[in-house]
Chains A and B, each alone.
Chain A
Amino acid sequence: MHPAGAARLATAAVGLAHLFAWVAFLMMLGTGPENRVRDLDLFPLVQIGEVGVSFMLRWDPLSQLMLMVVTGVSFLIHLYSIRYMDGDDRYPYFFADMNLFVFAMLLLVLAGNFLLLFAGWELVGLCSYLLIGFYSAKPVAAAAGLKAFVVSRIGDAGFILAILMLAGGLGTLDYTGVFSGAPFVFLRDSGSALVLTLLLFCGAMGKSAQFPLHVWLPDAMEGPTPVSALIHAATMVTAGVYMVCRCHTLFEMAPSVLQFVAWTGAFTAVFAGSIALAQRDLKRILAYSTVSQLGLMFMAAGVGAYSAAMFHLFTHAFFKALLFLGAGAVMHALAGELDVWRMGGLARPLRWTFWTFLAGALALAGAPLTAGFFSKDRILFSAFMAQPNGRALWLMGLIASLLTGLYIFRAVWLVFAGKPRVKRVHEPHDAPALMRWPLAILAVLSLGAGLLWLPGNWTRFAPLGGFLEPVLGRGEPYAPPGREAAIMAFAVAAFLAGLGMAWGMYRKGAVLVKSLGGRIKPLYRLLLNKYWIDEVYRAFIVKPLFRTASSMEEGIDRDAFDGTAEGLAGSALDYSGSGRRYQTGHAGHYALAMALGAAGMAVLVFIVQTWVLP
């Protein structure tokens, strides 16, 4: 097929899917909230023992929301890729993979049982491997694809065990059966409930890049920029958050695990946010930002505010896709440059990119009235009101917000403000129209999507929260308006503090940072090297594993197994030597042997009949 045709077909397919998502949404709005959870049992799939699994789709507000986000954002990313990937020799392959990625994610969110969920889950992993390693001629890219696959596979191992536990304990994998039956089999706070939910969360940690399984996501930046946007915004990493929200009935059986989820999320949010402060690669800054924001979502889920987690997932999809596509536009203008220290002064030549990127940055940092502000405020509010440890979690969230403002405006200033720090070969130019429009649409959504859920207790305008209620429950604590306002004021203060610090430090390029850099060098190096997590893994896990494997290969496989087999074969060869001489290969010799044998038989029969038998 002609390359352009492939791109058009792929983009149209996702666009059509988005259109159908709207039709489904309108159909859902036509029914009452109590009728909105539906299972569509299409056909039986497999029968394993007494556990029958069919191809069952779940159509409820939660999957409907994901459906809209996934298809919508993916469509814009496809649209953007048409020009961005122009000229690549594997252009059609790229679009085929992207489409498969969207399909896998849709299967994941629409699955009506755990087996289909897992199928989508693994397919998403496969697509991420293919797309991260898209520039497979580059060894770094191939290694990054492998890393993503292997690290998330560690989480998947837990997920598989959890699914087996469910199948063994309940005899079914359908959501309906599992969620209604589980509380009777895995008793609240029992050991089995603890193990089950921990294993489930293990899967979510791998997919959603939570500490300590976060290492694959920043490396995933080796893929083409639209792929990063797709992975970070619409598909893949949100799967973990979605899964935890989907299984919230299971998690509620083990409150201590929920606490663990919340703390893992809160810690990851701060941890990844601090790493993002020191990175030089624009896409890596955004990658750590995603890890941090996913941490906030898990924190929300951990304190029982599942709708708030989904709300943040929803708004984050817009502004993170926007930021990545904006980073792509910057790379496009600077011939692939990614180091923020080698940029600067791009606000004027890249006007569209600058304004849209700024909108995304504001939303990410939680500037008042942007989408990110409302969703983050929901999370911080729910954390503050949660029992136990709510205040501590809230404080962590607040620190994460402050870090967010700091690192994203550091990036904005370094990339767009001031003068170019490196002499440019040719004048940078803004992205072509087909790349600008997706940016503009996402910018509008990043600024406006928060209006779907205004802080509840004052305005009572929360269509999104209400929409998700049949699946995720109300889950929003009540607080007097004064307290809610105070919490919000803290969030605004954190945003302003982050913004102010970034302004103070990076307004004049690197002058202040350089003077400060001498004093905080150890800290800077700690952050730049990402707390040496990769090095620790390499030294304590990867290397010992390789060493064990190679000694096993030497000692057990080659010496013991191969040695035994080859020894037996060798002695058989030795003993067969005497017999081999009679196999000459000449047809005449065989014929003679046959003739003599037949004659011998005839003589024998004659002897027996004549002398022996009578």
Chain B
Amino acid sequence: MTIGLLHLLAFWMFASGVAGVVLRRNPLAVFMSIELMMNAANLLIVLASGGAGMESAATQGLSAVFILIALGAAEVAVGLAVMMAMFRDGKGASLDRVTTLRG
């Protein structure tokens, strides 16, 4: 029962992450939403590895989670640097300004 609720929580976290990325204009908020999505994924992995009921699957799942957390930390370093660059020119950091890829 708890397991089902936790799945629902993961789904809800992921969905709000997607909504945040798609709808928000503030790069910091978008960034936080990405983190939210990643943590939803982490939660799912933990749930799946625990639910399988096997010792080896549990350790594999947990180590995957640790790798993902490390990945998130690295992403923070890069992402914050990008944001610093955006904030620096003083014109505000709306993602609407960044449209270099426009065809």
Chain A interfacial positions (CB closer than 8 Å to B): 576, 579-588, 591-592, 595
Contacts and interface: CB of A to CB of B under 8 A. Distances in A.
A584 B22 CA distance: 14
Nearest to B30: A587
A588 B21 contact: yes
B102 A587 contact: no
List the 4 closest pairs (A to B, CB-CB), nearest first: A585-B99, A585-B102, A583-B103, A580-B103
A70 to B, nearest CB: 63
A584 B21 contact: no
Interface of B: 18, 21-25, 30, 95-96, 98-103
A591 B102 contact: no
A580 B30 CA distance: 25
Contacts of B102: 583-585
Contacts of A583: 101-103
Contact of A585 (B18, B23, B101): B101
A206 B96 CA distance: 69
B101 A588 contact: no
Interface of A is mostly: helix
28 contacts: A576-B103, A579-B103, A580-B103, A582-B103, A583-B101, A583-B103, A584-B99, A584-B102, A585-B98, A585-B101, A585-B102, A585-B103, A586-B95, A586-B98, A586-B99, A587-B95, A587-B98, A588-B21, A588-B22, A588-B24, A588-B30, A588-B95, A591-B18, A591-B21, A591-B22, A592-B22, A595-B18, A595-B21
B96 A595 contact: no
Count chain B CB atoms within 10 A of each CB in A580, A583, A586 and give the residue with the most.
A586
A584 B103 CA distance: 7
A600 to B, nearest CB: 13
Contacts of B24: 588
A113 to B, nearest CB: 58
A585 B22 contact: no
Count chain B CB atoms within 10 A of each CB in A576, A582, A584, A595 and give the residue with the most.
A595
A580 B99 CA distance: 13
Nearest to B19: A595
Nearest to A599: B18
A67 to B, nearest CB: 66
A579 B103 CA distance: 9
